[in-house]
Amino acid sequence: MGDREKCENPERHKVHLCKLRKDGKDEELERYREKPIVICNKCKIQANDPRTLCNPRALKAGK
């Protein structure tokens, strides 16, 4: 598995957005996506908080 595919914080993976999406928890998922500042290198979900992503990186300005 490449570095972009690994979860940087596996002990928190159960609350990461990719897991919430897989589990069909859309309402909870949307709460973390209102004003995104980061994107996940693994699944490309955008989020308000880097702690909710497996492999976060800052969004580029204007996105």
Domain of 16, in residue numbers: 3-58
Q: Tell whether 16 is covered by a domain.
A: yes
Q: Tell whether 30 is covered by a domain.
A: yes
For the chain, percent of residues with pLDDT exceeding 70 = 87
pTM to 2 decimal places: 0.79
CA 63, CA 45: separation in Å to the nearest integer?
13
Give the model confidence (pLDDT) of 27-55 as tens digits.
988 899 999 999 999 999 999 999 999 99
Q: Tell whether 63 is covered by a domain.
A: no
Count: domains in the chain: 1
pLDDT of residue 1: 45
Q: Tell whether 31 is covered by a domain.
A: yes
pLDDT of residue 6: 81
pLDDT for 61 beyond 80: no
Q: Place 3 in a pLDDT band, splitting at 50, 70 and 90.
A: low
**Side by side, which strands form the sheet with 56-58?**
46-47, 38-40, 56-58
